[in-house]
Amino acid sequence: MKKITAQDLHSIDELQTSYINALDSKNIPGWLETFAVVPDASYICTTAESVDRNLPLALILDDCHARLQDRVTYITKSWAGTFQDYRTRHFTQRVSAEAQADNTVKVRTNFTVIYTPEDTGSSEVLTAGVYEDVVSLANGSAKFISKKAVTDTSVLPRYLVYPL
Amino acid sequence: MNKPLQNFDVLWPARTNEIPKEVFTRADIYEEELKRIFYGPEWHPVAHEGEIPNRGDFKTCFVGKVPLIINRAQDGKVRVFFNACAHRGNQLETATAGNKSEFECPYHRWLFKDDGALVGCPAEAEFTPGFKRADFPLAQPRTEIFKGLIFVTFSDRTPDLDTFLENSQAGLSNTLGNDGRLKLLGYQKVRYRTNWKAYIDNDGYHAPLLHKAFKMLNWQGGVGRQYATGQRGHICFESALSLASGSNFLKDPSVVEFRGSDPAKGSNITALFPTFAATSHLDMINLRFANPLSVDETEVHYAYFSHQDDSPELAHHRMRQSANMLGPCGIVSMEDASIFHRIHIGNHTPGNVTFQKGVKSVSVVDMEFKQNDESGNLPRWDYYRRSMGFERQSA
C-alpha cells in the first residue's frame, strides 16, 4: 500500500475546498472543473437508505463526464428563472483517506449543508451525509474521478437545484 | 355548539373554473379532509408488490397520520397491518423497510407473527379472565391489490376496488407492465411545502411553458388526450412523445432515448383521487405515493421500477433515465417542485384561482380534454367539492 503524504492530504483538502467554494459561490462551471476530464468521471448523489438496501436509483446520477457537463446546462440554462433560489454553505470534515495502487486516493468526508432560500431568508439544514470520493493525484493536480454524496437525509426537505 | 360541517363557511364559486384559495390553506379544512377523504370512502395505494418481493420483506408508510406496515409473510401472502401493537397501541416497527418473520413490541414484549397472529405476551396468566391470544392479532385495514399495486381503505363505505378504479384500469395496467411484475429500482423522497391539492393540481397547460428543457430537447407535444374516468376524480393522460432529434442540447442524449417503450404511447399518467399517480414516461415506470402531513406540507415518495423481464441493459437504462428526468432534482420536474412551494405561498392571498385553458363553459364540468388543457383538473376539483360537502353558490 502506497503511503499517503502530507502533501497528498493537502492537495485533497484543497480540492474539497475548491469544490464547496464553487457550489457555495454558485460557480457551476467551477464545480465541473473539480472533476478529472476523463470519460467516466462521475457525480452521484444518493441516500444512505438506498445504499443500505442496494438500490441503484439515485437523486442525481451523472455517470460520465458528458453528463457532468449536461448538469451545468440544466442549472445555468434549463432551470434559470424558475425556482426559488437559495444560498448554500457546505461544511466538511475529512474522516479517512486511503491511497490506492493506481495513484488515486479513496477519501471519505462528512458534510453538512445549510441552505437559505432568498424568499424566506431563514437558514436551515438541507442535508447531512458523507462524500465517498476517488481523487486522482496524477500530474501534480488533484481532481475527482468520482464523487458520491451519500445523504443520511432520506427525505429531502426541499427540491435540489444544485449538487451537494 | 358544533357548527354544521356542510358548508364550513366556504363560499364556493358558481363558475366551474374557479377554486377558492382558502381550501389550500385552512387547517380546519385539512382536518376535515382527513376524515372525509383520507379516512373516508377512497382507496389509497400504499406500495407495489415489487417493493416487497421476498418472504419477510416489509415496508412502513403513513396514510394521513395513520401508520401502516405492508409485508409479504412467510406464507407468501401480502398483508397490510396498522403499525401499532394490539395491546397499548405502541408503534410496532420503526424502520422504513426490512425483512422480518416476526414483529416484537419492545414495550411489553408482545410478539406477532408476520401474518399478524399474536404468538407471545408475557405474564398472560394474569390477564383478564378469558383472555385469548386469537382475539388480539395485529389489526388490518381493508386491502385489495391491482397488478401488484396494494390499496387500503379505512372506511366500510368504500366500494370494491374494481368499482373505485372506474375506467382508469387500462392506463394503470399499462404503466404497471400489464402483468404487474415490477422490480424496484429505488426511491426519491421529498417533503414539499405545499398543500396536497396544489401538489396534485399540476396541469397539461404548463408543461411546454415551465419546462424549458422540453423546447431545448426538441420535444414536440404529440397526439394525446386527457380524460376523467368517471365521477370519482381520477384523471388519465395518454400522449405520444416525439423522439428528441436535431437537438445538441445534451452532450449525452442516451438518457432521453426510448429503448423499450413505444413513443406513440410515450407519456401516460393515471392520477387516482386523492393523491396517487402512476406514470410511464419514455422508459420510466414511476409510482408516486403522496401523503398530506399537514395543511402546509406533503411528503412524496417517487418509487421507480424496471420490469422483471428486462435485460440488465434495459433495467440500467430505466434506472439512469429515472434518476435524471423526474423527481425533486429531475431535468423536467425540478421546476414543478418549485411551483408547488410558490403556489402555496400565493394561495394565502384572498379570492379564487382561475382555470382558463380548455374551459369551454363555466357552467358544466367536461370529461374529455386536449393534451395541453388545464381544464382536465376540474373533474377532480368537482369530486373534491362534493366529497367535502361544499355547495356551489348559485350563478
Residues of chain B contacting A70 with CB distance shorter than 8 Å = 250-252, 255
Question: What pLDDT shows up at residue B222?
Answer: 63
In chain B, residues with a C-beta closer than 8 Å to the C-beta of A152 are none
Q: Do A59 and B329 touch (CB under 8 A)?
A: yes
- The chain-wide mean pLDDT, for chain B, equals 93
Query: Residue A51's pLDDT is what?
Result: 98
Q: What is the pLDDT of residues B52-95, one digit of tens each?
A: 999 999 999 999 999 999 999 999 999 999 999 999 999 999 99
pLDDT on residue B273: 98
Distance CA A81, CA A84 (A): 8
Which ipTM score applies to this complex?
0.96
Chain B positions with Cβ closer than 8 Å to A: 96-97, 184-193, 210-213, 216, 249-252, 255, 299, 304, 316, 319-320, 322-324, 327-329, 331, 334-335, 337-339, 341-342, 345
The answer to whether the Cβ–Cβ distance between B324 and A77 falls below 8 Å is: no
| Helix or strand run (H / E) with residue B216 | helix B212-216
Question: Shortest CA distance to A32 belongs to which of A141, A151, A143, A160?
Answer: A143
Q: How far is A84 from chain B (nearest CA, A)?
A: 7
> Tell me, what amino acid is at B270?
T
Rounded-to-integer distance, Cα B384 and Cα B292, Å = 15
Residue from the list A56, A67, A159 with its beta carbon closest to the beta carbon of B337: A159
Q: At residue A19, what is the residue type?
A: Y
Band of pLDDT at residue B217, cut at 50, 70 and 90: confident
**Nearest CA to B201 among B117, B290, B139, B123?**
B290
Count CB atoms within 10 A of the CB of residue B2.
4
Mark out chain A residues that contact chain B at CB-CB < 8 A.
Answer: 45, 47, 49-50, 53, 55-61, 63-64, 66-67, 69-70, 73-74, 77-80, 82-84, 119, 154-161
CB contact under 8 A, B189 and A158: no
The contacts of residue A5 (CB under 8 Å, 6+ apart) are none
What residue spans of B129-192 are helical by DSSP H? 161-165, 169-175
pLDDT tens string B134-161: 999 999 999 999 999 999 999 999 999 9
Is the N-terminal amide bond of B274 cis, ω within 30° of 0? Answer: yes
Binned at pLDDT 50, 70 and 90, residue B335 comes out as: confident
Res A14: pLDDT: 97
Mutate to test the interface with A, among B51, B54, B188 (most CBs of A within 10 A): B188
Please tell me the distance from the alpha carbon of residue B13 to that of residue B26, in angstroms, as a whole number: 17
The region, left, alpha or beta by phi > 0 then psi within -120 to 50, assigned to residue B76 is left
Q: Among A57, A82, A159, whose Cβ lies nearest the Cβ of B319?
A: A57
* Chain A residues lying within 8 Å of B249, measured CB to CB: 73
Smallest Cα distance from B278 to chain A, Å: 18
Single-letter code of the amino acid located at A61: L
Report pTM.
0.96
CB B104 within 8 Å of CB B121: no
CB contact under 8 A, A67 and B329: no
Tell me whether residues B334 and A161 touch, CB distance under 8 A. Answer: yes
3-state secondary structure of B244: coil
Is the confidence at residue B7, as pLDDT, over 80? no
Per-residue pLDDT reduced to its tens digit, B28-48 = 999 999 999 999 999 999 999
B chain contacts of residue A157, beta-carbon cutoff 8 Å: 190-191
Please give the pLDDT value at position B244: 54
Sign, Cα dihedral of A62, A64, A67, A69:
positive
Residue A21: burial class (beta carbons within 10 Å; 0-12, 13-18, 19+)? middle
CB B300 within 8 A of CB B192: yes
As to burial, measured by CB atoms within 10 angstroms (0-12 exposed, 13-18 middle, 19+ buried), residue B385 is buried
Residue B208 pLDDT class (50, 70, 90 cuts): confident
Q: Read off the pLDDT band of B1 (50, 70, 90).
A: very low
* Beta-ladder partners of B47: B150
Give the closest of A56, A82, A156 to B319, CB-based.
A56
Q: Is the pLDDT of residue A102 over 60?
A: yes
Out of A64, A73, A159, closest to residue B329 by CB: A159
Share of chain B above pLDDT 90, in %: 79
Cβ atoms of B89 and B82 closer than 8 Å? no
Grid-cell match 394561495, residue found: B347
- What pLDDT score does B2 carry? 39
Q: What string of H, E and C letters represents the secondary structure of B38-100?
A: HCCCCCEEEEEHHHCCCCCEEEEEEECCEEEEEEECCCCCEEEEECCCCCCCCCCCCCCEEEC
What does the pLDDT average to over A74-101?
A: 94
A-chain CB neighbours of B327 within 8 Å are: 59
Q: Which amino acid is at A104?
A: T
What is the chain B residue with the closest CA to A57? B186
CA distance A96 to chain B (A): 28
